[in-house]
Amino acid sequence: MSVVIRQPGVVLTDHLFQVPLDHDVPQGEQIEVYAREVVAAGKERAELPWLLYLQGGPGGRAARPVGRDTWLDRALEDYRVLLLDQRGTGRSTPATRQTLPLRGSAAAQAEYLSHFRADSIVRDAELIRRQLLGDEGRWSLLGQSFGGFCTLTYLSLAPEGLREALVTGGLAGLRSSAADVYRAAYPRVARKNAAHYARYPEDVEAVRRVAEHLLAAPAELPGGGRLTVRAFQSLGLMLGTGNGSDLLHYLLEDAWVHGVSGPELSDTFLAGVQSKLSFAEGPLYAVLHESIYGQRSVDPGPTGWAAEQVRAEFPEFDAAQALTGDAPMLFTGEMIYPWMFETDPALRPLRETANLLAGRTDWPDLYAPDALAANRVPVFAAVYHDDMYVDTADSLATADAVRGLRTWVTNEWEHDGLRVSDGKVLDRLIGMAQGRL
């Protein structure tokens, strides 16, 4: 029996579904997928269209609502919302350092996780749609970031299940390999660094001081992780959000304290860094990150730790080299590196599994360009100008390749615009879908 919870302004209903691990073997092993239904209080019995929300990631659980917060407030005016914990996340059958060893060897774990990409997520959603809406029912789709990638897969594999699709910061390059993605990403990240240092010029010296200290002696984080210079650089993941530059600056403000042996990195700083760098809450983000770009028709070879390989083409990200001169040390962005599976205790037990996935070849295609070119589902997408996480040029090329897709290109918001705009981003896309804009 479903659990129903009332919060101010909303009614929440739990749903748990059994789905095949491998949709090509529907009678084989089953896993659980959890979803939370959200409807405005007083509209519980109303005949509202459904809106399926696909979270960013990969490996991120759906948002946990507290009343009508963030974009939900706008969505609930028109829809009954379903927040999906994509397979392996949240209250769905978990895939973590604690549970994956139950599968056996690293090879068995890697094989298991090969079924956790966008194509499987879409097939899960289709089974859920039929259970909730019936075979003929169709729902709307809202895809944020990686959820937008999944939306393109949905339009490729099962467009008959959709009445419309809304995408925020998530139009992937249909023909971009993992190496292509990172080759385009490093210059964008460099621009975000330049913008940060222009806003906070005092951080040039503050960052250099921390980096020099870590180069001489890496620090231990409260959770047992190891803060190296490269790990410190990966705080640049923050720079792609609306307030990320400010939060990074405030983190650096607390870097030092005068201890018994002189200046040392403060517990406040180290705890803050720990909260930003640990993958304990979402290990699949790291384990599966490069695999979301694997497609045999684009590149039949392995993704091969593409972010690490491509990094060599951008020597300006070499911290040690920067520290020998006057150049600012550059932070990196949404890149996953093999050394993270050494420095993060949440990832360390999954190191061999991640290496096997990085070496896997012949990943099935996730997008069907011919189907997208013939698309008949209305699609409306917010494309953020100079988005640090998703290449704008790729997004616009994809928009041209999907029949009937309309874009709204904006520099008012960064990649997290859906969450922080008080419903304005979603309202714009709904207005486009309703023909008001």
Of the residues 92, 114, 415, 416, which is catalytic?
415
Of the residues 362, 386, 400, 422, which is catalytic?
362
| Nearest partner of 117 among 43, 58, 194, judged by Cα | 58
Question: Is residue 140 among the annotated active site residues?
Answer: no
Of the residues 114, 120, 145, 177, which is catalytic?
145
Question: Is residue 177 among the annotated active site residues?
Answer: no
The β-bridge relationship of strands 10-20 and 4-7 is antiparallel
User: Alpha-carbon torsion 258, 260, 261, 264, what sign?
Assistant: negative
Please give the backbone phi and psi of residue 46, each rounded to the nearest 5 degrees, phi first.
-75, 150
Question: Is residue 85 among the annotated active site residues?
Answer: no
Supply the residues annotated as catalytic.
145, 362, 415
